Structure 1
Amino acid sequence: MNEARSVNPKELVAASLKRERARAGLSLTELARRAGIGKSTLSQLESGEGNPSVETLWALSTALGVQFSALLDSPTPTVEVIRFGEGPVIPAADADYSATLLSTASPGSRRDMYVIRAEPGKPRVSAPHARGIVEHVVISCGRARLGPTDATEVLSAGDYISYPGDVEHVFDALEPGTVAVMLSEAF
């Protein structure tokens, strides 16, 4: 269980400076030179011992090529794990098919990622999505016939296909326990 905890501003700046300096591939000496501050000042800030002024943080953010707020914000987690079987499952109404949303698009991008679980029987026929949608599918296990309804392909575990999602398309499991990962993106 994650509990909110108070973050010491000096620790936050220290961690942010180390993170951004590493991303930029700069030494302590080079960043201090570019920011026009003393190396000892930067060293103190990175160790959480210094008291940064607004001017110093502006100079550092400019030298690092990041927004000022990047030095004051808690970093967002970069690793997210969703175990197979977890997450919101959305079943199809007319086929033995379900989609689990794994990842939504972040601001500025237009893509979603799903795990698809399907069983043989009635195929899942999808109406055309919004114009410009492209679907990318990798079969994890099993076999399926999928793609635009007028140009389907049979894929096995490890196979990949991409096709326009803005035309009618189908996913037809050919083996029990068929699982796929689908990325839907818009251009």
Structure 2
Amino acid sequence: MSVPEGSIRDMLAANLKRARAQRGLSLSELSRRSRIGKATLSQLESGTGNPTIETVFSLSRALEVPISGLLDTRPADGPTVVRAADVEVLSGDAVDLRPLRRFELGEGGFEVYDQQVREGARQDSLGHVGTEHTVVQAGRLAVDVEGERIELGPGDYIGFDASRPHAYTALGGPVRSVLLLQYRTDRRPEGADAHTAPHTPPGPHA
């Protein structure tokens, strides 16, 4: 599916190169930190790779930037309306993320995602920048945070330090939820603009 303001692939290519240059990292060093092959990183920076949730979150962790620091678009004027059919999906082993909105408040920022967890699979994350908040809308969700399992039903909420290893698993059927990533603005890449945009994630999942 194409996105009018540029695809996830294109946004990641531009922002990955910028973030890596700001930190003075070679492709080899970023490969070591992120555990992503050098050839894969080269493809991502050239806009020819196929990013997944796992890839984006590994880069977020290695570069210490929010997901939106890698998947960034220009500000939008006027009301922000996000149509589900118009949002590019970032998929992982078990999760499909649809970026809905990003905004900043004081010294912090938030990214809002529609998150769907597929039945019969587990989404693992080694951790990434920010604090993760999830509200289950439908289905039952198991969240593992450093070995502790919490089971959630419709209307239940969980929040935790996203730098800790964690995993999501749908129990007995697919899960629909809202994911909110909270971060400090001083953890964003230098030179990134504050914005509100309907086409920014993933990432996580999670």
Q: How does 1:91-130 map to 2 (within 5 A)?
A: 91-92=91-92, 95-106=93-104, 109-130=108-129
CA distance in 2 between partners of 1:119 and 1:139 (Å): 13
Question: 2: CA distance between counterparts of 1:80 and 1:140?
Answer: 22
Q: 2-side partners of 1:157 and 1:80: how far apart?
A: 27
In structure 2, relative to structure 1, the CA distance for the partners of 1:119 and 1:175 (3 Å cut) is farther
Higher-Rg member (1/2): 1
Q: CA deviation at 1:176?
A: 2.2
Q: Which residue of 1 is the match for residue 142 of structure 2?
A: 145
Matches within 5 A, 1:1-187: 76-77=77-78, 79-92=79-92, 95-106=93-104, 109-130=108-129, 133-187=130-184
Q: Can you list the C-alpha shifts for 1:115-152, whole angstroms capped at 9, x where unaligned?
A: 1111222210111113xx11010001001101413222
Q: TM-score, normalised by structure 2?
A: 0.47
Contact 1:113 1:181 in 2 (8 A): yes
Amino acid in structure 2 at the alignment position of 1:80:
T
- Please give the alpha-carbon distance, in whole angstroms, between the structure 2 residues aligned to 1:179 and 1:90: 15
More deviation in 114-123 or 134-143?
114-123
The separation in 1 between residues aligned to 2:135 and 2:143, in whole angstroms, is 11
Change (3 A) 1:105 1:138: same
Gaps of 5+ in 2: 1-76, 185-206
CA distance in 1: counterparts of 2:85 and 2:94, whole angstroms: 16
Question: Over the residues paired in the alignment, what is the CA RMSD in angstroms?
Answer: 2.2
User: Could you say which residue in structure 1 is the equivalent of 2:192?
Assistant: none
Is 1:119–1:177's contact at 8 Å kept on the other side of the alignment?
Answer: yes
Q: Alignment length, in residue pairs?
A: 108
Conserved? CA contact 1:147–1:163, under 8 Å: no
Q: Give the percent of matched residue pairs that are identical in Structure 1 and Structure 2.
A: 21
Q: Report the AA paired with residue 121 of structure 2.
A: K
CA distance in 2, matches of 1:171, 1:85: 24
Structure 1 residues not aligned, in runs of 5+: 1-75
Report the Cα distance in structure 2 between the residues aligned to 1:110 and 1:169, rounded to whole angstroms: 21
Deviations 1:36-87 (A, max 9, x none): xxxxxxxxxxxxxxxxxxxxxxxxxxxxxxxxxxxxxxxx42x423244541
Q: Report how far residue 102 of structure 1 moved.
A: 0.9
1:84–1:157: structure 2 CA closer, same or farther, 3 Å change rule?
Answer: farther
Cα contact 1:119–1:174 (8 A) shared by 2: no
Partner Cα separation in structure 2 for residue 82 and residue 147 of structure 1: 30
Q: 1:85 to 1:146 in 2, by over 3 A?
A: farther
Q: Aligned equivalents of 1:183 and 1:164: distance in 2?
A: 12
